[in-house]
Amino acid sequence: MESENLKDVSSLAREKYNFYQNKLGYTIYTLLAGSYCSIGMAFAYNAASGFYASPSLSGISNLIMGIAFALSFTLITFAGSELFTGNVFVITVGALSKKITFKNAISILIFCYIGNLMGASIMGAIISMSGVMSNTAGEMLETFCLTKISLPIHQLFLRGVMCNVLVCLGTWMASKIKSDIARMTALLWVVAGFVTSGYEHSIANAGLFTMNALSNSIPPGYMQGVLKNMCFVTLGNIVGGALIVACGYWFANRRTSESN
Per residue of the chain (260 residues), give pLDDT as tens.
678 889 999 999 999 999 999 999 999 999 999 999 999 999 999 999 988 888 777 779 999 999 999 999 999 999 999 999 999 999 999 999 999 999 999 999 999 999 999 999 999 999 999 999 999 999 999 999 999 999 999 999 999 999 999 999 999 998 888 899 999 999 999 999 999 999 999 999 999 999 999 999 999 999 999 999 999 999 999 999 999 999 999 999 876 555 55
Count other C-beta atoms under 10 Å from residue 144's C-beta: 18
Q: Hey, where are the domains in the chain?
A: 3-259
**The predicted structure's pLDDT at residue 256:** 59
Q: What percent helix, strand, coil does the chain show, rounded to 5? A: 85, 0, 15
List Cβ neighbours of 75 (8 Å cut-off, separation of 6 or more).
36, 39, 40, 81
* Burial of residue 21, with CB atoms counted within 10 A of its CB: 0-12 exposed, 13-18 middle, 19 or more buried: exposed
DSSP state of 58: G
pTM over 0.95: no
Q: Element (H or E) spanning 233, and its range?
A: helix 222-238
* Residues 58, 80: Cα–Cα separation, whole Å: 34
CA distances to 17, 64, 86, 125, 175 from 77, rounded to whole Å, are 18, 21, 10, 23, 10
CA distances to 182, 187, 233 from 10, rounded to whole Å, are 22, 21, 26
Q: Residue 259: CA atoms inside 13 Å, Cβ hemisphere, count? A: 6
* Residues 166, 235: Cα–Cα separation, whole Å: 15
What would the pLDDT profile of 15-28 be if each residue is shown by its tens digit?
Answer: 999 999 999 999 99
* Residues 77, 70: Cα–Cα separation, whole Å: 11
* Residues 123, 210: Cα–Cα separation, whole Å: 9
Nearest of 81, 117, 87, 120 to residue 104 by alpha carbon: 87
User: In CATH, which superfamily holds the domain spanning 3-259?
Assistant: Glycerol uptake facilitator protein. (1.20.1080.10)
